[in-house]
Structure 1
Amino acid sequence: MKTIAVLGAGYAGLRTVKRLAHSNVNTRIVLVNKNPYHYESTQLHQVAAGTKEPADVSFDIKKSLPAGVEFILDEVVSIDEAKRVVTFKKHESLVYDYLVNALGFESETFGIKGAEENGWPLIDIDTALAAREHLEHTLASYRHSHDENDLHIAVCGAGFTSIEYLGELVYRMPELVKRYGLPADKIKIYCIEAAPKVLPMFDDKMVAWAVDYLKKRGVEFHTSTPITEVKAGSVVSNGLEFKANTIIWTTGVRGSHVIADSGYDQKRNRVVVKDDLSVEGHPEEFLIGDVSAVPDPSTGRFYPTTAQISIAQADTAAANLAALLEGRKTSKFDFKSVGTVCSLGPQAGIADIHMMGHWKLKGAIVGVVKKIVNDRSVLELAKVSNMLESN
């Protein structure tokens, strides 16, 4: 019996396993993940801000797997493409016939001095919780330290995670001010971004609405401000220095380090794949999610790595594996975006939706749309019980 190894139980990996199991392929399916749980990475900012708990955005992997799927709880060390072997930290190596690599992402520092040591990234449950604990501890410390930098928060980057984190933070800030007896007028929240515009995937009017919403709630935006160094207690941009004892690092992500460690031809731990998502020279191997770089045939640029694209890639990879097993040709990856939703806390946001027309939404309605999107993701990856438990 052939063995299909699926590495990573994020959106892409878990979806692939579900599709393979339902396609009735006569194979051994092995899912590998370093944690016993799947977490909704698109909601980590809520855990970091303290508006949701880890249990709200995660579920047990074993309980959600189809019958017959094996699960290895371990961390991948390396992949030998030539020998078709995956090496782990604890378990014996796994020999595979087919591989789906969906190992996910890591924080990207771009080589900026001090970023790794002094910034708090949001890349998994543990880092999100660590960022939240630091935020709350630092705010609480002000009552004894009287250091106004304890009341300053610098968010590095102005992409999706950064803006959604800011939305949750300003929503929760009145509660934190009351809890710790803080002077609200001394709270400072910086958003520091190298590019001239935040959220470039939205049109200017929608971005202006989102920026204005956050500004009215105390966020200072500093665009066209490249970060040159991150110190303990400040973010430096050439001659500017933003003093803050909480520094959230959300400037971007790269693929898993396992990609470079295994000798793939990569950039930022992402591998350019063929149009059927397989690796050049290895038709038995598919790379999807954050470790893949997929060219958009209409523009020539790479698709952004989003949960929506990862799920679509998983469907294609599973279908192509079934085709290979049955001796059929594989199909090209064809992606049609259904839109983009950016929350600004639980009660506001902006959205550009391409379903039953083209809808541009802003305000409270987007909070409802975001919840539907999140619930649908849990429903498709797990079971209805998981979705109900997360509410």
Structure 2
Amino acid sequence: MSNIPKIVILGAGYGGILTAQRLQKELNYNEADVTLVNKHDYHYFTTHLHMPAAGTDHMENARVSISKLIDEFKIDFVKATVSQIRTQEKKVLLEDGSALSYDYLVISVGGETETFGIPGMKEYAMSIRSINSVRMIRQHIEYQFASYKQDESRLDRLTFVVGGAGFTGIEFVSELADRMPELCKQYDVDPSLVKIYNVEAAPTALPGFDAELVEYAMNVLQNKGVTFKIGTPIKEATPEGVIVGEGELIKSATVVWAAGIRGNRIVEEAGIETMRGRVKIDDYLRVPGQDNIYVIGDNSLMFNPEGRPYPPTAQIAMQQGVTCANNIVAAIRNQQPVKFVFSNKGTVASLGKGEAIGIVGTKKFKGFTAAQLKKMIDIRYLFIIGGIPLVLKKGKFL
């Protein structure tokens, strides 16, 4: 039994869960010991977090128990937080003091918020990164409305600033705008007093979409009450709000930062060479010079045929997970690995209830059609990881 190779997967996000599921499908019993490590006993849908964060959906709809996704006769699940990766010793240390040894390691621990060194951002802004952070944001927003009724001079409590107009920023600000009428009614607040700002340093919102779809998205959100400040960097976050552009202060009690992600520092601390926390992996998803270590998802850095880095999306992480598992099985069986080739299935951004924009191949979609496409993509993912039972349980909430 001691000669059986040990596979350790760190993280049960999109990449990690797909790696585990493909390994349990491809490996025979007693062909390898597979351990999945995650700090929570649930897998959550990162692409759905903007809804419970704004309060337009319940956070339970954004997660599912890991025990329902894996075969625990084939995969050993360990609920723990990783404290250190020791590549020389082929060991992973956990915060409870225990250690796991491995022959093959899959690093899929997810990224961290990147603040680009903006002063005060870590101290005074919130971010949409986990179920717990989402819970905090939702409760914070509701608290601002309740507090405003105690002191109606504090208009900053009704002013909301979202930094970043990429996917996360736009999708969150869309849900936030949809939530406002309900909160105003619930707390007896004049809707005209509520201000929502979306601030973006880049010259355009939603990079990756063409100008026509971006214009459509911005018009939809402006009609919902969102004020855009595009090409305007946030210079500093303070206890009073944010300083933007040439020194303008937007007074706000709620700043949500959604403008950047970097690799996990635990990877850098392992002595693996990184670029802003992300590992420039080889064509087979391996760390250069360490063929037994695979890095997928937010911590991996791969370039498209045009030489630009792929963005850290759920779609890429899922496809990497499948290829990663196949290549580990190939290594165990002394077979040839396969190169990872990304297949773009399309991109859809939600703009709130009944609205979205999307690109699939050369076709562009907007409005209700794009919103239905987004729903289909989400249901497809539920089916991939949990089959019909998970679709029936969660699909109706999408």
2:8 to 5, 14, 24: 5
Q: Is the 8 A contact 1:64 1:383 kept in 2?
A: no
Matches within 5 A, 1:56-71: 56-66=61-71, 67-71=73-77
Partner of 1:21: 24
Partner of 1:255: 263
Partner of 2:323: 316
* Consecutive unaligned residues in structure 1, runs of 5 or more: none
* Deviations, residues 72-112 of structure 1 (Å, cap 9, x unaligned): 10001111112110010015210100011101111111111
The percentage of counterpart residues that share the same residue type is 36
Structure 2 CA distance, aligned partners of 1:115 and 1:42?
Answer: 23
Partner of 1:353: 360
2:161 to 149, 154, 164: 154
**Farther off after superposition, 78-87 or 262-271:** 262-271
> 2:207 aligns to what SS in structure 1?
coil
Partner of 1:129: 135
* Letter matched to residue 122 of structure 1: I
Count of aligned positions: 387
Partner of 2:122: 116
* Deviations, residues 351-375 of structure 1 (Å, cap 9, x unaligned): 1012xxx321100122221121112
Query: RMSD of aligned C-alpha atoms?
Result: 1.1
Structure 1 CA distance, aligned partners of 2:227 and 2:76?
Answer: 49
**Farther off after superposition, 258-267 or 126-135:** 258-267
Matches within 5 A, 1:191-230: 191-230=198-237
1:287 to 295, 302, 319: 295
Q: Is the aligned partner of 1:104 residue 2:110?
A: yes
Q: Is the 8 A contact 1:39 1:125 kept in 2?
A: yes
1:138 to 134, 144, 148: 144
Structure 2 CA distance, aligned partners of 1:130 and 1:374?
Answer: 24
Report how far residue 208 of structure 1 moved. 0.2
1:387 to 367, 388, 391: 391
> 1:333 aligns to what SS in structure 2?
coil
* Deviations, residues 283-313 of structure 1 (Å, cap 9, x unaligned): 11110000110122x1112111100000111
State TM-score, norm by structure 1.
0.97
> 1:351 aligns to what SS in structure 2?
strand
* Letter matched to residue 47 of structure 2: T
Report how far residue 220 of structure 1 moved. 0.7
* Deviations, residues 317-374 of structure 1 (Å, cap 9, x unaligned): 11111111111121111112011000011310101012xxx32110012222112111
State TM-score, norm by structure 2.
0.95
Q: Is the aligned partner of 1:303 residue 2:307?
A: no
Partner of 1:48: 53
1:86 to 65, 69, 92: 92
* Letter matched to residue 158 of structure 2: L
Q: Is the aligned partner of 1:168 residue 2:175?
A: yes
> 1:264 aligns to what SS in structure 2?
coil
Structure 2 CA distance, aligned partners of 1:115 and 1:245?
Answer: 13
Partner of 1:274: 282
Name segments (4+ residues, structure 1) moved above 3 Å: none
> 2:320 aligns to what SS in structure 1?
helix
* Deviations, residues 159-187 of structure 1 (Å, cap 9, x unaligned): 10000001111112111111111111111
Structure 2 CA distance, aligned partners of 1:182 and 1:264?
Answer: 52
* Letter matched to residue 388 of structure 1: L
Partner of 1:180: 187
* Letter matched to residue 331 of structure 1: V
Structure 2 CA distance, aligned partners of 1:188 and 1:54?
Answer: 25
> 1:141 aligns to what SS in structure 2?
helix
1:35 to 24, 31, 40: 40
* Letter matched to residue 30 of structure 1: T
* Letter matched to residue 44 of structure 2: Y
* Consecutive unaligned residues in structure 2, runs of 5 or more: none
Structure 2 CA distance, aligned partners of 1:161 and 1:195?
Answer: 15
**Farther off after superposition, 319-328 or 363-372:** 363-372
* Deviations, residues 33-76 of structure 1 (Å, cap 9, x unaligned): 00000000011111100111121010100122123210010001
* Letter matched to residue 221 of structure 1: F
Matches within 5 A, 1:308-347: 308-347=315-354
Report how far residue 188 of structure 1 moved. 0.7
Structure 2 CA distance, aligned partners of 1:379 and 1:50?
Answer: 25
* Letter matched to residue 268 of structure 1: R
Structure 2 CA distance, aligned partners of 1:378 and 1:261?
Answer: 34
> 2:315 aligns to what SS in structure 1?
helix
Report how far residue 243 of structure 1 moved. 1.3
Q: Is the aligned partner of 1:190 residue 2:197?
A: yes
Structure 2 CA distance, aligned partners of 1:382 and 1:114?
Answer: 41
